[in-house]
């Protein structure tokens, strides 16, 4: 078996780069936003919203991603603010992924502006992997006009860490043999999955670098951070067993997520949002007359750090209560208290009713819950999604079915 080789490709200042490419394509004489203090985000007239992407010139003024535009403008009064054009960004993202698929046997898109490529076994075809990563980087720039960073390693975690080294337009390696030299001296807050809240707690324990974290007794970390402590200890030591996958599996999944208007800072609010998401996801599963076996929860904090956790159920289900119970358990083990910007619920490993095995111990309880969910589904289909909802959502700001099945079905009038 050949040694694994993983690339992580990350677009530099994606939204701003894509906006610049688009404008220059429309008008070659247009100002290149990447060469001036400029940001993408919000509205230039009202100065509302946050910075979604910034130029290197804007960064020199101390402007950071996710910073309020009002604050950014105080730092740089002549700052150029561009409203986001997501349709254009999706088009550039698709073209970016198409180039990766041209060369990589397996491509996993991680977000709109980054992806993992499993290059294992391609050395005989492409030669030196660092040199080929540079070839891919140059090809993307030549064909699409924007720059990327590429991290090269033997697993996804280290490849992603490597791509975050010096920017822009660089290729960096970070193999396990290099982590003591390249990764351990870094501040602990730069480790993937260590948010601001975790960083503060770690520093209070005297853990200031990734190397300090790697050398800490995992039992101590687990006592302070629960299972997340064991996870970040493994990350600090370069351990990541997750494989790159193109997700082209026969069993589809069902998911839903929401970016909240205000950062969520308490578990009760977060779980209300997760219930709203679970209501919609579960209804979709039942509408397809199927059952799922895997549940996962995804979080993005206010600093745009992403984290997720998943579990495999004892038996397949499409019952809202069962799925939500797993969602809450996952959330409790995942969240470290850092303010949340995005919440998501995802399910997978779907199977048809005639192919599942029921858990006999919960059969009677599940039978009642299935009948209840079925009755609720029928009422909503006939009278609209808003015709029946849980008491906890009455009078609440949170919608009871985020990202519902069909906006037209929200009418309470009979059809």
> What amino acid positions are annotated as catalytic residues?
114
Q: Give the separation between CA 214 and CA 217, rounded to whole angstroms.
A: 8
Beta bridge mates, 301? 340
Q: Give the separation between CA 401 and CA 277, rounded to whole angstroms.
A: 6
CA within 13 Å, CB half, 132? 18
Q: Rounded to a whole number, what is the distance in angstroms from the first to the last CA of the chain?
A: 61
What are the two backbone dihedrals, phi and then psi, of residue 202, each rounded to the nearest 5 degrees?
A: -65, -40
* Burial status of residue 177 (CB atoms within 10 A of its CB: 0-12, 13-18, 19 or more): exposed
Per the CB < 8 A criterion, the answer to whether 68 and 50 are in contact is yes
Distances (CA, A) of 17 to 98, 155, 161, 234, 239: 18, 28, 21, 34, 33
DSSP secondary structure string, 112-172? TTEEEEE-TT-HHHH--HHHHHHHHHHHHHHHHS--EEEEEESSHHHHHHHHTSS-SS-EE
């Amino acid at each position: 078996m050949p040694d694994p080789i993983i690339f992580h490709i990350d677009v530099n200042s994606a939204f701003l780069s894509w906006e610049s490419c688009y404008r220059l394509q429309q008008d070659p004489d247009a100002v290149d936003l990447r060469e001036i203090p400029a940001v993408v985000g919000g509205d230039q007239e009202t100065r509302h919203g946050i910075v979604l992407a910034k130029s290197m010139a804007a960064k020199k003024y101390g402007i950071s991603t996710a910073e309020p535009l009002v604050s950014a403008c105080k730092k740089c009064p002549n700052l150029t603010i561009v409203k986001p054009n997501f349709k254009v960004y999706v088009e550039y993202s698709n073209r970016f992924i198409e180039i990766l698929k041209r060369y990589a046997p397996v491509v996993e898109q991680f977000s709109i502006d980054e992806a993992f490529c499993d290059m294992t076994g391609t050395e005989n075809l492409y030669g030196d992997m660092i040199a080929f990563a540079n070839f891919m980087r140059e090809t993307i720039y030549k064909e699409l006009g924007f720059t990327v960073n590429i991290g090269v390693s033997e697993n996804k975690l280290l490849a992603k860490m490597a791509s975050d080294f010096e920017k822009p337009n660089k290729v960096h390696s970070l193999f396990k043999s290099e982590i003591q030299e390249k990764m351990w001296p870094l501040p602990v807050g730069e480790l993937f999955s260590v948010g601001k809240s975790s960083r503060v707690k770690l520093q209070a324990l005297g853990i200031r670098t990734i190397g300090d974290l790697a050398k800490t007794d995992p039992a101590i970390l687990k006592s302070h951070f629960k299972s997340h402590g064991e996870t970040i200890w493994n990350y600090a030591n370069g351990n990541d067993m997750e494989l790159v996958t193109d997700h082209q599996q026969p069993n589809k999944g069902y998911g839903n997520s929401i970016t909240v208007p205000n950062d969520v800072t308490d578990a009760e609010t977060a779980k209300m949002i997760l219930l709203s998401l679970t209501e919609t996801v579960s209804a979709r599963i039942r509408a397809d007359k199927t059952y799922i076996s895997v549940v996962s929860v995804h979080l993005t904090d206010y600093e745009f750090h992403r984290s997720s956790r998943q579990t495999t159920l004892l038996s397949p289900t499409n019952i809202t209560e069962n799925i939500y119970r797993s969602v809450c358990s996952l959330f409790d083990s995942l969240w470290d208290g850092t303010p949340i910007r995005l919440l998501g619920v995802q399910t997978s490993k779907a199977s048809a009713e005639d192919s599942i095995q029921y858990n006999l111990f919960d059969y009677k309880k599940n039978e009642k819950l299935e009948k209840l969910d079925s009755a609720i589904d029928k009422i909503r289909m006939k009278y609209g999604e808003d015709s029946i909802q849980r008491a906890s959502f009455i009078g609440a700001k949170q919608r009871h079915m985020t990202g519902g099945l069909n906006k037209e079905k929200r009418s309470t009038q009979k059809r």
